Amino acid sequence: MSKKRWTIMLILILIISMLSGCGQSTSTVKEQNVLPFDNQKQESKTNQLEVCFIDCGQGDAILIKTPVGEYMLVDGGKVEEGKNISDFLRSQGVEQLAVVVGTHPHSDHIGGLAEVIKTFPVQKVYLPRVTHNTAAFEALLNAIKGKNLKISTARQGVEISLSGVEARFIAPVGEGYDNLNNYSAVIRLDYGDNSFILTGDAEEFSEKEMLGSGEKLNADVLKVGHHGSSSSTCPDFVRAVSPQYAVIMCGADNDYGHPHRETLTTLDTAGVKVYRTDLHGTINMKSDGQNININNTTGDFNQTSKSALKPEQNNGYIGNKNSLKFHRSNCKSLPIEKNRVYIETRDEAIARGFTPCGNCQP
């Protein structure tokens, strides 16, 4: 073979090798673009489960980060909190969400989710099988539709698609409830020896259904139902869960008097240490599978459970000379100044013949 022909063949071989190399490079780039979530998980592995109870006023929003770096958001506060919650997620390194759960259609739980879903890529959305005729619920459905997402039903026994932890819905057990709160999607998270139960606004009716369902209820942390209302957290349910810690999510000086005294007394009697977003701000719990470490953004986390449970004793009460009712100092039903009686403690109010206000439930 002539020298000229050898030279031509060598040039062809070099060109084919270069084209082959370019093809491999293009394939790699495409694969990286298809799997950004897996790459994110590899970069953010911590071997810890993080459960962050976001202070969003009178509402719920809970961010979960699994040990392998997947994120789940449970509820999104009110509509006006949507941008704040999205900003908070970014500050925590969230680029996309594996799971979004709207526990039930009340606006203080799902109001901000529309903004979150528009802002972040989302893999899966869970909602209970119930609708609500409100602008907040319609906006959520439109946001889900806009991202071409399907809604998976949140109900007892459904496993949640979340890597690194065991996650499942333990309520709602049934359907056809008169009260929307009892449709609340209740979530159980297990990581190693540690466990969390997140209850949305589930009330006593739902709690008793869970007690009779055969579900495992014992857990280290209980997110208290319905912002600490007396309609939830019945003594039997608390005994079954037997939590070491409870978290109450409510706004400072809210109009509902949350948390109610009955709930605080039930938790105090059970020896549960209580943390509250109205007192402590955003509460972050980290589990290594054996121990839970707790931090917060505001306030003193070293205070005793009793001071956290009974802040009203520092503010005193206001009695009504005419009705002989006594109220919390922030109650909307306070009498005019000339009819007020200022009382230091609840026991003193009872001893003086006053009865508790039915609205603020002091």
Please answer whether residues 154 and 101 qualify as being in contact, where contact means their C-beta atoms are separated by less than 8 angstroms: yes
Q: What is the pLDDT of residue 319?
A: 87
Burial of 209 (0-12, 13-18, 19+ CB in 10 A): buried
Strands of 186-191's sheet, edge to edge?
Answer: 166-171, 186-191, 194-198, 221-223, 245-248, 273-276
Q: What is the pLDDT of residue 358?
A: 79
pLDDT value, residue 270 = 96
Query: Nearest-CA neighbor of 127 among 118, 143, 119?
Result: 143
pLDDT of residue 1: 52
Average pLDDT per block of 10 residues along the chain, 362 residues long: 52 46 32 35 73 97 97 97 96 97 98 98 98 96 97 98 95 95 98 98 98 97 97 97 98 91 95 95 96 78 36 64 85 80 80 83 82
Tell me how far apart the alpha carbons of residues 11 and 327 are, in angstroms, rounded to a whole number: 93
3-state secondary structure of 173: coil
* CA gap 284, 51 in Å, rounded: 6
Classified as helix, coil or strand, 285 is strand
Selection from 262, 201, 213, 200 nearest residue 240 by Cα: 213
Looking at the chain, the domain(s) classified CATH 3.60.15.10 span: 39-310
pLDDT at 329: 79
CA distances from 28 to 19, 31, 37, 95, 219 (A): 15, 5, 16, 22, 45
Q: Which residues, at least 6 apart from 94, have a Cβ–Cβ distance to it below 8 Å?
A: 63, 71, 120
**Closest CA relative to residue 203, chosen from 181, 220, 180:** 181
The answer to whether 71 and 54 have CB atoms below 8 angstroms apart is: no
DSSP for 22-82, please give it.
HHHHHHHHHHHHH-HHHHHHHHT--SSEEEEE---SSS--EEEE-TTS-EEEE----GGGH
- pLDDT attached to residue 315: 56
Rounded-to-integer distance, Cα 223 and Cα 210, Å = 15
CATH superfamily to which 39-310 belongs: Ribonuclease Z/Hydroxyacylglutathione hydrolase-like (3.60.15.10)
Q: State both tokens at 237.
A: 């349910």
pLDDT of residue 351: 80
